[in-house]
Amino acid sequence: MNYSVELGMYPLGSCTMKYNPKVSELIASSDGMRHAHPLQPEETVQGLLSVLHELGEMLSEITGMHRFSLSTAAGAQGEFAGVLMIRKYLREQHLTNKDEILVPDSAHGTNPASAAMGGFKVVKVPSEESGLVSAKAVKELTSESTAGMMFTVPNTLGLFEGEVVEISKAVHDAGGLMYYDGANMNALLGKTRPGDMGFDIVHLNLHKTFATPHGGGGPGAGPVGATKRLAEYLPVPVVSKQKSGYCLDYDLKQTVGRLKGFVGNSAVLLRAYAYIRLLGADGLANVSSLAVLAANYLWRLLDSEAYPVTHGRSLRRKHETVVSVRSGLPGGAMQTAKALLDYGMHAPTVYFPLIVSEALMVEPTESEPVEFLDEYASALNQISRELKEGRLGNVPRNTSVGRVDEVKASHPTTLKVRW
C-alpha cells in the first residue's frame, strides 16, 4: 500500500523528490556513524568532523559562498537563520530604519513567513506576465527602508530570473542584502552559482537537491552559506579545522547564535556528502542538465490546451513545469491529482505557486527514465479528456482509502494529538 520514490515517479514540484542512492544509506548506517553520540569527545569523532568540514567546503564551491554552517534542519530554518543574519548585520551598522524585506509573489510561503518571524515587514514584488521579476519593479520598491530581498532562482514557476544580476545590484544600491532560496538548486548545479549572481546568503535543501530521503516531516538539512563579509554571522556551531584537529566551533564573533542541537542532522549531512562525492563536479552538472531536459520533455508531451502554461510561454522551463488545469470547472487540479492515484501514480504539487490558478507543478527530476515520463504524460492527457467530458466521477476509486477530509486533519476542534 505504500508508495515511494523507488517505485515510480514522485513529481512533487518544488520538493525535488529523486532517487536516493543506496550507498548513502550504507554510509549513514555504518557502525561508526550509527553509534556516534553528540556528547562524545571530539578527538573520537575526527573522521565524521573532517567529512562535515569537507561538505561545507564543497557546498561553498557549488554556491560561490565563503563558508557554510550545517546545523539548520530545513530550508525554512535556513531562511530564518539568514533573516536573523540580515537583521544582526544591519543593527551592527546602526541601520535599524531598514525594516523591509522584498519577496516576489511567486515565492514559497516560507519566505514571507521567515521574514516576518525575523521582525521584518514583507514587501510583495509582483511578477511580470512572463512570470519573472523585473529589475524595474524591484527598483521601484527599494528605499531607505530596504533590508534585503529573498529570491528563488529559478523561481517556483521553474523559470530562470534573467534580471537577477541587475536586481541584486538594485538591492545592494539601496543598502540591502540578497538572500538566495536554494530549494531549486537542482536546476543550476555546476552551471552557475548564486554567489556569482550577487547573493550574500544562501540556503540549500540537502533533502531535495542532494538526494537524501524526505517526506513525512523529516529529518532534513538546510545548511546556510554566506559570503566572506557575512560569514561571522552564521549560526553556530560551524566545523572548524584547527591545529589540534577538527572541532565544533561556537566562537564566531557576530553569530546569530545556536538554532539546533550540535551539528544538526548529521546522518542527512553524511548522505549528501556521499552523493556529491559519488557524482563529482561533472556528475552534478549532468544532474541539472537531465533534470531540465526531463521537465521540458514532459511539458511538451502534455496537451497544451488542457494544460497550458500561464507564464513565460516562450521560455524554457528549468527543472519543473507549472501548468493550469483548464477543465472549465473549479477544482480541476484537485480532480486531476486524485485521478492520477488510480493509475498508481503519485500526484504532482497542486495549487502552488499561488499566482497560477488550478496549478499543477510537475518536477520529474533527472532520475526518472523516459518511459515514466511518457506514461505520466499519457495518463494526464487521458484524465483531461475524461474530466472535460464529465466522465471522471468520484476519484480515486482504486485506492484503499478514498477521498480524505483534508481540512479535518488540521482543524483545532477535531485534531487529537494525544490519547
Ligand X SMILES: *Cc1c(COP(=O)(O)O)cnc(C)c1O
Q: Which residue type, as a one-letter code, is found at position 129? A: E
Q: Taking the CB of residue 136, how many other CB atoms lie within 10 A of it?
A: 13
Regarding 264 and contact with ligand X (CB under 6 A), the answer is no
Closest CA to 291 of 391, 383, 184: 184
In the complex, minimum distance from the CB of residue 383 to ligand X, in angstroms, rounded to a whole number: 25
186 binds ligand X (CB under 6 A): no
**CA gap 147, 125 in Å, rounded:** 14
Residues whose CB is less than 8 angstroms from the CB of residue 61 and which lie 6 or more positions away in sequence, other chains included: none
Residue 322 CB, nearest approach to ligand X (Å) = 12
Stretch that binds ligand X, among 57-65, 69-77, 291-299, 397-405 (CB under 6 A): 69-77
Cell triple for 21:
542512492
Alpha-carbon gap, residue 297 to 151, rounded angstroms: 26
Rounded to the nearest whole angstrom, what is the least distance from the CB of residue 204 to ligand X in the complex?
10
Q: How far is the CB of 301 from ligand X (least distance, A)?
A: 24
Quote the CA–CA distance of 274 and 258 in Å, as a whole number. Answer: 26
98 versus 208: smaller Cβ distance to ligand X: 208
Residue 199, burial from CB neighbour count under 10 angstroms (0-12, 13-18, 19+): buried
Enter the C-alpha cell of residue 300. Answer: 511538451
Residue 279 beta carbon to ligand X: minimum distance, rounded to whole angstroms: 21
Q: In the chain, how long is the greatest CA-to-CA distance?
A: 72
| Exposed/middle/buried for residue 139 (C-beta within 10 Å: 0-12, 13-18, 19+) | middle
Please report how close the Cβ of residue 205 comes to ligand X at its closest, in angstroms: 5
Stretch that binds ligand X, among 68-76, 138-146, 342-350, 368-376 (CB under 6 A): 68-76
Secondary structure element (H or E) that encloses residue 93, with its range: none
- 261: region left, alpha or beta (phi > 0 left; psi from -120 to 50 alpha): beta
DSSP label of 215: -
Question: For residues 269 and 392, which CB has a smaller minimum distance to ligand X in the complex?
Answer: 269
220 near ligand X (CB under 6 A): yes
Decide if residue 365 touches ligand X (CB under 6 A): no
Does residue 212 touch ligand X according to CB under 6 A?
no
211 Rama class: left (phi>0) / alpha (psi -120 to 50) / beta: left
CB of 223 to ligand X, least distance (A): 11
> What is the gyration radius of the CA atoms in the chain, in angstroms?
22
Q: How many residues are given for the chain?
A: 419
Minimum Å gap between C-beta 200 and ligand X is 17
The smaller minimum CB distance to ligand X, of residues 203 and 326, is found at: 203
Smaller CB distance to ligand X: residue 82 or 222? 222
- Decide whether 123 or 268 has the Cβ nearer to ligand X: 268
If the CB atoms of residues 100 and 320 are measured against ligand X, the closer one turns out to be 320
User: Rule CB under 6 A: is residue 384 a binding residue for ligand X?
Assistant: no
Q: Which of residues 77-116 bind ligand X (CB under 6 A)?
A: 108, 110
Contact 24, 275 (CB under 8 A): yes
Q: Exactly one of 5, 10, 14, 247 binds ligand X (CB under 6 A); which one?
A: 14
Considering the complex, state which of residue 141 and residue 183 has its C-beta at the smaller distance from ligand X: 183
Name the residue nearer to ligand X (CB basis): 89 or 352.
352
Residues 6 or more apart whose CB falls under 8 angstroms from that of 208 comprise 15, 16, 17, 75, 183, 185, 186, 214
Query: Which of 11, 56, 64, 75 is the binder for ligand X (CB under 6 A)?
Result: 75
Within 8 A by CB and 6+ apart from 265, the residues are 73, 218, 219, 220, 221
CB nearer to ligand X: pick between 45 and 183:
183
Site string for ligand X, 136-175 (x = CB under 6 A): ----------------x---x-------------------
The site that binds ligand X (CB under 6 A) totals a number of residues, namely 14
* Complex with ligand X: residue 182 or 198, whichever CB lies closer: 182
The single residue among 222, 235, 312, 348 that binds ligand X, judged by CB under 6 A, is 222
- In the bound state with ligand X, the residue whose beta carbon lies nearer, of 156 and 367, is 156
Buried b (16+ CB within 10 A) or exposed e, 394-406: ebbeeeeeeeeee
Scanning 74-82, 228-236, 238-246, 318-326 for contacts with ligand X by CB under 6 A, the matching segment is 74-82
Residue 322 binding ligand X, by CB under 6 A: no
Q: 363 and 13 in contact (C-beta within 8 Å)?
A: yes
Q: Which residues of the shown chain bind ligand X in the complex (CB under 6 A)?
A: 14, 74-76, 108, 110, 152, 156, 181, 183-184, 205, 220, 222
